[in-house]
Amino acid sequence: MVNVVGIGGGIGASRLWLTLNEALDEATPGLPSPLTLVVNTGDDLWAHGVRVCPDLDTTLYALSGRQDVERGWGTKGETWRCMETLRELGNDVWFNLGDTDLATHLLRTSWLRDGVGLAEVTRRLAAGMGLRCRVLPATEQPVGTQLLCTDGERRSYQEFLVRDAAAPRVHEVTYAGISASRPAPGVLDALAAADLVVLGPSNPVASLGPVLAVPGMREALRDVRCPVVAVTPTVSRVPFEDPGEARRADSRQRLMESRGISATATGAAELIRDVCDVFVLDTADAQEADAIRALGPEVLVTPTLAHGGRVPRSLADAVLDTVNAGRPVRGAAIGGVRR
C-alpha cells in the first residue's frame, strides 16, 4: 500500500484530492485509506460569531460529496435564511455562510471552546461526513494570511478575495502568527511515513505558502525519502469562463506579483523549487517545460484542468505513477536535502 500525503488548500486542491482519493480507494478496498491531507489554515477567520476554516471545509465537503460543484465552495442545495435574517437586522454581511454550512461552523466552534484541538475537531467532522481518508490542519495555532495593499489598507485574505473581489493591488503578503506555530499532531509522522507527497494545485502564496511557512514544514519536506510532486496551480494559456475562476486567477496573479514572481506555472515552480522533485505541467503550457526544468524539478506534461468539480483521472494516475516510475528523488540523491 502506498502512503500518500497531499498538501495545500482551496478549490483547486480539493478537485485533485477528490479524484486521487477515488483512485486510492479503488486500489485499497476494505483497507484503511492510505491518503492523508494537510490543509491550509491561513484563511481561517471568525465570522458571525463562529470559527470558519474555508480550506478545511472545502476539502471535507468535496470528499464527502456535499460540495456545491458549480460555486466550488459551500454545500449543494444550500439555503440562506440565516444570512437573510442578519441583513434584515442591519448586519453588513459580506461573508456568506449557508444554513447547512453554518452547522459545521457551530459544531467546530463549540468543540474549540471546550478545549478540543483543531486536529481532533477536524477528525470528528471528517468522521461525521463519512470520510475514509485523514484530513489534518497544517497547524493548530492561529495563523492568518495578511495582505498589505497599495491603498495602505491591511486586509485578511478573505476580505481581499470575497469582500473586495481580489481588486486591490497587493504590496506585501505576511502570515500573522506563523513564527509561533508548529505542525499539527500527525503531520510530521505522516510525512515521515509517506511514499509520495503531492503539493496540490493551490494558490502558491495564499494556500500553499502558509503551510510551507509553518516552522519545520519546509525542512520536513526536504528530508522526505520519497518523490515530492507538485501539480501546477495555473494554466496560463486557457481563458477563464467562470467568474469565480477568474476572480481566483486575479487573486493568484496579484499575490504572486507581490513576490516578484510571474503568475505562470514557471513562477509557481520557482516558489517551491527547494521541495519539489516533479512538477506536473498542463499540456496547454508545455512550452514552459524547459524553464521549469532549469529550476531543478523534472517535468511531467498532462491535462490538469478540472471538469465537473474534479480533475481528470489520468492526472491522478500520472501522479501516483511517479512512485513506480523510478523518478529520482533529489533529496535522496544529495544527502537528504533538496535545494
Q: What is the pTM of this model?
A: 0.94
- Beta-sheet strands, E only, within the chain: 4-8, 35-39, 45-47, 50-52, 134-137, 144-149, 154-156, 170-176, 196-199, 228-231, 278-281, 298-301
Residue 334, pLDDT above cutoff 50: no
Structure confidence at residue 336 as a pLDDT band (50, 70, 90): very low
Tens digit of pLDDT for each residue in 250-308? Answer: 999 999 999 999 999 999 999 999 999 999 999 999 999 999 999 999 999 999 988 87
> Would you kindly state where each structural domain of the chain is located, as residue ranges?
4-148+176-333
Among 280, 270, 265, smallest CA distance to 319 is for 280
Return the pLDDT at 71.
84
Question: What percent of the chain is modeled with pLDDT above 90?
Answer: 85
Number of Cβ within 10 Å of residue 179's Cβ equals 11
Over range 187-209, report the average pLDDT: 97
Please count the residues of the chain: 339
Any binding-site annotation on 57?
yes
Q: pLDDT-based confidence at 326, cuts 50/70/90?
A: low
Convert the pLDDT of each residue in 67-102 to its tens digit: 998 888 899 999 999 999 999 999 989 999 999 999
Largest alpha-carbon pair distance within the chain?
A: 63
The CATH code that applies to domain 4-148+176-333 is 3.40.50.10680
Q: Which helix (H) or strand (E) is 56 found in, with range?
A: helix 54-64
Pairing of strands 144-149, 154-156: antiparallel
Q: What is the dihedral of CA 320, 122, 45, 91, to 10 degrees?
A: 120
